[in-house]
Structure 1
Amino acid sequence: MKRIVTGLILTFFAVAFFACKDNDFEKQRENELKKLDEFIRSTYPELEPNATGLYYKELEQGTGDTIKIGDEVQIFFDMWTLDSTHVVGTGRYEPLEMRVQHPSNLSSSAEYIEQLRSLNEALTYMQTGTKSLLIFDSQLGFGQYGATGVGGFTPLMMEVEVYKVYPAEIPEEEEED
């Protein structure tokens, strides 16, 4: 009986070990970055990533003050994978309302659109009326595990238009300085 249990346990671990080789995160990350690099070179060769790896292209210039961390914004957006598969978006219906957060305060694996590090970072470059294209890897997106409709290690494109900006309120003691 001990031999059968030991044999089953060894078989289980052998199957688990070889199954994990197919899910090698380093290899998946490497493939993702290769796919992103090829896409950028063939589609947007003029774009360079910023320090975080975000590719940002302003499509229409906005007006007013640049958005700051803590501001409330209303945006329209659409998101696609690099092969143009539509993932999610607001279209021109109901804008998404969110508070802009510092990207370093967000996890590397977002669960919701407003938690995307790439979106929060890009909004700090924009004003009311700005329309921009964002291209980013999974570290600025939904991470190694993905989200509903988005697989892990998936680079994404996002078109964002700032509809309204509500500046963060400054505490009274700061106003007097």
Structure 2
Amino acid sequence: MKYLKFLLIILPAALFFSCDSYSDEELNAFDAKIEKYLKRKNIECKKSASGLYYKILEEGEGDFIQFTDKVMVTYKGSFLSGETFDEQTEPIELKVSEQINAWKEIMLQLKKGSKAYMIAPPQLGYGGYEIEKVPPNSILVFELEVVDVM
């Protein structure tokens, strides 16, 4: 019985994560698209070990956001084409732990009042899944502001 429970938990998780793995060639292609976009727009960003491109626009004040925190944020999400797929101009409450990997990663570097710009390759966004207006394997551009940390 314990073995069955183990399989019911581990197998779906393994399938979920294996469906979204990318080859080195694919990862390099995502990077090339992002770097071309940044060069064309004359934007300088840092690149994290995970592949997230980001720029902290305003540092904010207080303690850094924790993984278990809730935050009030405003944001704009778009594609490299400039087309907006989501925008929240009024603050919305989000749990950091429930966001896409790109958001989880950047949030840990932000504080109340921080503003950031980031470009998330598919492996840090929605991967190969289609989510509402976001096609599979999309590179996502976000501008966000942390209004409050709870």
Amino acid at match of 1:141: G
Matched, 1:97 2:81: no
Which residue of structure 2 aligns with residue 16 of structure 1?
Answer: none
Q: How many residues get paired?
A: 128
RMSD over aligned CA atoms reads: 2.1
Q: Is the 8 A contact 1:57 1:133 kept in 2?
A: yes
Which residue of structure 1 aligns with residue 71 of structure 2?
Answer: 73
Q: Is the 8 A contact 1:29 1:153 kept in 2?
A: no
Shift of 1:60: 1.7
**Runs of 4+ residues over 4 Å off in structure 1:** 25-31
Pick one of 105, 114, 120 that aligns with 1:130. Answer: 114
Which residue of structure 2 aligns with residue 151 of structure 1?
Answer: 135
What is the TM-score when the length of structure 2 is the normalising length? 0.75
Aligned partners of 2:55, 2:31: CA distance in 1, in Å? 19
Aligned-residue sequence identity (percent) comes to 29
Q: Which range moved further: 119-128 or 144-153? A: 144-153
Amino acid at match of 1:79: G
Change (3 A) 1:53 1:44: farther
From the two aligned structures, give the one with the greater strand fraction: 2
Which residue of structure 2 aligns with residue 83 of structure 1?
Answer: 81
Aligned partners of 2:42, 2:50: CA distance in 1, in Å? 18
- Output one character per residue of 1:15-50: Cα deviation in whole Å (capped at 9) or x when no partner: xxxxxxxxxx86876654432231123334532311
Which ranges in structure 1 are unaligned for 5 or more consecutive residues? 1-24, 102-113, 167-177
What is the TM-score when the length of structure 1 is the normalising length? 0.65
Which residue of structure 2 aligns with residue 48 of structure 1?
Answer: 46
Q: Is the 8 A contact 1:66 1:124 kept in 2?
A: yes
Q: Is the 8 A contact 2:46 2:55 kept in 1?
A: no
